[in-house]
A and B are shown apart, each in its own frame.
Chain A
Amino acid sequence: MTEDAEQPVVEAEGSAAESSDGPETEAAGVSRRKLLIGSVGVMSGAIAAGVGVPAIFYVAGPAQEQGGEQEWIRLGSVSSVELGAQTLMKATVERRAGYLTTTEELSVFVSTENGSDFVALSNICTHLGCRVRWVDEQDGFFCPCHNAVFGPDGSVQTGPPPRPLDRFETKVEDGQIFIRKT
């Protein structure tokens, strides 16, 4: 810092009035000014990355949280499911979001043809997430948002949904129906 005390500390480039002597050049052809500007740039970049990269992980944090192994959820008694009809069954599930645990109601359409094999369909439309309801006259699930209709097996009959209604894995234990996300 001391050896060039005679030099102007800052040369205003482009202000023609004062540009008596050009930028000092060293053997390598890189001026002192360019080197300093460059190092300021590198340091700024390093600091920005030092905060910026952790910030990306920080912001994306909750999205990384895994629910872990899916648990069996008890829906209710087998006897409440009518043969050959869609029965809407509800269960409350706990959902952990960050430091908060909330309870959420899960609605599932359960049907059976023979009383022992059960089909559990989610009531969430695969198009944009509205809730579907069973309509007897149409023999299908109707979504009020965009008039989509799903068949009794969850297949898309009409409308925009990209795939059939989601199915849960089912099991029966002690006369109770359990479902699990697949």
Chain B
Amino acid sequence: MVSKLGDWLNERTGWRATYTAVFLRKIPKINWAYTLGSATLFAMVIQIVTGILLTLYYVPEPQQAYASVSYITNELPFGWLIRGLHHWGASAMVLLVVLHMVRVIIYGAYKYPREFTWITGVALLLLTFSFGFTGYLLPWDQRAYWATVVGTQIGEVTPIVGDTLRAVMLGGEEISGLTLSRFYGAHVWVLPSVLLLLVGIHLYLVIRNGITSVPKRGE
């Protein structure tokens, strides 16, 4: 029954060829360090799902932001779980992308013909940091506020454009409701759009070029 449905769909979509290319592709003999990319992808999916769920209740407005987060955490059923997954998942993302990058450096997997995969990977690393930075403000508590003060002042030391950069980031001279709403917009719309595009390219390249084998002595 299921296989018949699969055949029916395959005749019309050719999904089996894609499935084979993605999941049944040939790979060299490798080790557990090669699972870090997939682990990152998994963490990303968790972040997307829990993030979408959080937007159902979170309100990016100074009077309500903290109250809505507190409502999610303390009053909603499993709100603590959804927020907890998103909170710890964010740290896991940073950890995993860095470990993934370290593996690629150590095994020299950034070399020809995979330079462009590496470049998109670096962009994804920076995106992950941007997610962390913009998401950190959203609970709108003291830690969020002062972390953003510090973070934007770090941005201010950028030569020549520093002051402008900080003002654009904050939407003014000081942290305000404008900062909160633009961080929220960046966190849930701008960054995810770019992220999905880049992840798509990154994965396409991983499949197209195949993965590297563990380098041998003398290579």
Question: A residues touching B (Cβ–Cβ < 8 Å)?
Answer: 5, 8-15, 51, 54-55, 57-62, 64, 98-100
Partner of B77, one of A11, A14, A64: A64
* Residues of chain B lying within 8 A (CB to CB) of residue A59: 53, 56
**B20 and A61 form a contact (CB under 8 A):** no
Interface flag for B208 (CB, 8 Å):
no
**B76 and A100 form a contact (CB under 8 A):** no
**A10 and B26 form a contact (CB under 8 A):** yes
Q: Specify the chain B residue showing the minimal Cβ separation from A53.
A: B78
**B76 and A61 form a contact (CB under 8 A):** yes
* Residues of chain A lying within 8 A (CB to CB) of residue B27: 9-10
12 contacts between A and B (CB under 8 A): A10-B27, A15-B20, A51-B85, A58-B53, A58-B77, A59-B53, A59-B56, A61-B77, A61-B79, A64-B77, A98-B71, A99-B67
Distance to closest chain B CB from A57 (angstroms) = 4
* Residues of chain B lying within 8 A (CB to CB) of residue A51: 46, 49-50, 85
Partner of B24, one of A10, A64, A99: A10
Q: Specify the chain A residue showing the minimal Cβ separation from B83.
A: A58
Known pairs A11-B24, A61-B79 / 12 extra A-B pairs, C-beta < 8 Å: A5-B29, A9-B26, A12-B20, A51-B50, A58-B53, A58-B56, A58-B78, A61-B77, A98-B71, A98-B75, A99-B68, A99-B70
Docked pose: A68 CA to B56 CA in angstroms: 25
Interface flag for B81 (CB, 8 Å):
yes
* Residues of chain B lying within 8 A (CB to CB) of residue A60: 77
Docked pose: A58 CA to B71 CA in angstroms: 11
**A57 and B78 form a contact (CB under 8 A):** yes
**A55 and B29 form a contact (CB under 8 A):** no
Interface flag for B57 (CB, 8 Å):
yes
Docked pose: A98 CA to B73 CA in angstroms: 12
Distance to closest chain A CB from B51 (angstroms) = 12
**A12 and B78 form a contact (CB under 8 A):** no
Q: Specify the chain A residue showing the minimal Cβ separation from B56.
A: A59
**A12 and B26 form a contact (CB under 8 A):** yes
